[in-house]
Amino acid sequence: MSTDERTVDAAKTQSPGPLAGIRIVEFAGIGPVPYACLILAELGADVIRVDRVGGTGRAIAPSFGLERSRPNVIVDLKSQRGREVALRLADEADVLIEGFRPGVTERLGIGPDICRGRNPRLIYARTTGWGQSGPLRDRAGHDINYASLTGALHTVGTRDKPMQAVNMIADFAGGSLFLVIGVLAALQERAQSGVGQVVDAAMVDGASSLVTMIYGMFATGLWTDDRQSNLLDGDAPFYDTYRCADGAFVAVGALEPQFYSQLLDGLGLAGKLVGNQHDRAQWPEHRKAFTRAFAARTRDEWEEHFADSDACVTPVLSLAEAPRHPHNVARGIFAMVDGAPQPRVAPRFSRTPVLEPRSASLPGADTATALQAWGFTGEEVAALHESGDIHQSVRGTSEGDPATARS
């Protein structure tokens, strides 16, 4: 590691992050909430994750990295004293984030009217699949359902069928990232007005926003409603993936004419194809030529061949390979967390670098210390633990005694 890289890593570790001073209460859930709170925590916010008694907000155990970098407390939100714990946390918070179905927090007595009645500056951010209103608001669903209703899913796949892009379209892009945008925008507005508000971040809304450009192209006749029949969805031979001699793939994105020219030069096809780049009638023959050419060498040979070219040819790396690629290593895109690579949060900041990711806490592992950091006394924590309104776990069990941490 170079001196510059060590300096950057040290700055990341020492910096409080651009959101230092912002306090966030996260009600544990699945879907976009944990990823959004991971981002906010590693941007420097003080996030406390409130998990449930007798279970967890995790969809699948373990957390797979989404719960890293923030303390985890277990509070019984169904008990009166447990609800008061949550309300006291909300009193101290700038932001509260929840991802329950509409009406759940209201029934628990910790909804936005009650929380913001006590703390008018609170930003109450809530994310659901279908939103807080509309005929589907109470229906269950997942990423594939929200993406399907917006037209986003229709744009992805082969001519034969749409294909889900794992859970990135609605859960993480349409949900988590738009939730973060909403929180940051509300914080900025509060700096002017002094008053918080409720943020409704629906995945169906975010997923539809993601295909804004496609809707614009469709409206002007530059995009058809047939999959794999457009410039960016696998129809153009110069914007696709190709199998190489070793069975691995390269990605080709030579959209502009100057890049397309370098692609042809690199493949030895300059002057050998009938028709120009955008002659759709010739695209099937162009694809055959590209397919034959790429099949002649391995993926890594093609990467080396195009290393100094603007032909927009890159290797399709596996999850195991990507963290080791020299570019990703040079930028420090991945960090080692619990012995495995995890992507660092983005974007980057010149004066307040983001925090280094930390291991995810087990549910309830930080109950005593985190509640005291948020204003509870040691005596209060011990009493709440004794009554069962909060739980402290040790090595994944409910064996801890918060009384030993009295202030």
- Residues tagged active-site: 142, 171
Tokens of 216: 């614009």
Tokens of 86: 């949550």
Query: Quick check: 27 and 50 in contact, CB under 8 A?
Result: yes
The residue assigned the tokens 């544990």 is 28
**What's the rounded Cα separation, in Å, for the pair 9 and 150?**
41
**What's the rounded Cα separation, in Å, for the pair 257 and 283?**
15
**What's the rounded Cα separation, in Å, for the pair 243 and 307?**
18
**What's the rounded Cα separation, in Å, for the pair 195 and 124?**
11
- Quick one: which of 77, 92, 120, 70 has its CA closest to 375? 92
Instruction: Compute CA distances 319 → 63, 255, 315, 342, 351, whole Å.
Output: 18, 26, 12, 10, 31
Query: Quick check: 404 and 381 in contact, CB under 8 A?
Result: no
CB contact burial 146-162 (16+ within 10 A = b; e otherwise): bbbbbebbbbbbeeeeb
The reply to whether omega before 347 is within 30° of 0 (cis) is yes
Widest distance between CA atoms in the chain: 82
The residue assigned the tokens 């995890």 is 342
**What's the rounded Cα separation, in Å, for the pair 54 and 70?**
20
Contacts of 141 (CB under 8 A, 6+ apart): 129, 130
**What's the rounded Cα separation, in Å, for the pair 164 and 396?**
35
The reply to whether omega before 62 is within 30° of 0 (cis) is yes
